[in-house]
Amino acid sequence: MKKLVIANWKSHKTHKEVGRWIDAFEEKLDHSLLKDAVRIGIAPSDIYMAKVADELNQSVALVAQDVSPFPLGKYTGATAASQLVSMGVKYAIVGHSERRHYFGEDHIQVANKVAQCIDAGITPIVCVDDEYVAKQAVAIDSDMHSKCIVAYEALSAIGTGENISATHVAEVTDEIKDVFGDVPVLYGGSVTSSNVTEYAKISDGWLIGTASLTLENFWALLTAVSNL
């Protein structure tokens, strides 16, 4: 399987900045074989989804940073999984540690988001920290486990420049596979072009926050991964 590398822009970037990043990215991608070596995903804020969908190369996957735990309906401010699908979204990040920490999301809400994604045909990327891998797995219907990608996302490593050691990522990856089954497992938390190769034999891909914000850093990381 190709490594899956997702740029998670979080609440960064204005409309203009998104345009500049995508234009420069498309130009580089056109002249590169990189898209054949790596599965790339971009997770912009929902408000830029249409723009990114229109301008992005077809080989690059559109990713949502979050999804509503409810279906279409009277849920002001929420974006339903079927709305995301209608924009061409293929994957949705659910239960990111920032959502749990700042927005109070719990295992049940995350499980409901997973169910909405699967129902709509989106692959959920379920984020877990090592303390609650098992609890999160129990909250999700076991029939759905095999349809998930799971990401080990330690809050302590996110945006801090303190990535988790490869040995510990390997332990948590095994633990995730014990409870979710043989699903793809990603790692996220201060991954850069300089440390990504440490996880080459352990992880099926990475969630990239800070190092995806400038194209220069993200491209360096993609290049490092494509040479694995």
Question: Hey, which residues are catalytic here?
Answer: 96, 153
Contact (Cβ atoms closer than 8 angstroms) between residue 163 and residue 189: yes
What are the b/e assignments for 81-112, b being 16+ CB within 10 Å?
A: bbbbbeeebbbbbbbbbbbbeeeebebebbbb
Of 180 and 187, CB closest to ligand PGA: 187
Binding status of residue 164 toward ligand PGA by CB under 6 A: no
Does residue 203 touch ligand PGA according to CB under 6 A? no
Q: Least separation, in Å, of the C-beta of 96 and ligand PGA?
A: 6
**Cβ neighbours of 73 (radius 10 Å):** 8
Nearest residue to 38 via CA among 53, 57, 59: 59
Residue 121 interacting with ligand PGA (CB under 6 A):
no
H or E element in which residue 18 lies: helix 15-30
- Asked whether position 8 contacts ligand PGA by CB under 6 A, the answer is yes
Opening angle at CA 72, ends 75 and 81, nearest 5: 105
Give the residue, chosen from 52, 184, 209, 215, that forms a contact with ligand PGA under the rule CB under 6 A: 209
Only segment of 55-63, 128-136, 173-181, 205-213 that touches ligand PGA (CB under 6 A): 205-213
Q: Which is nearer to ligand PGA, 29 or 127 (CB)?
A: 127
CB of 75 to ligand PGA, least distance (A): 25
Residue 124 interacts with ligand PGA (CB under 6 A): yes or no: no
Determine which residue in the list 41, 124, 188, 205 makes contact with ligand PGA, applying CB under 6 A. 188
Say how many C-beta atoms besides its own lie within 10 A of residue 57's C-beta: 12
208 binds ligand PGA (CB under 6 A): yes
| Residue 115 near residue 141 (C-beta atoms within 8 A) | yes
User: Which residues of this protein are in contact with ligand PGA, per CB under 6 A?
Assistant: 8, 153, 158-159, 188-191, 207-211
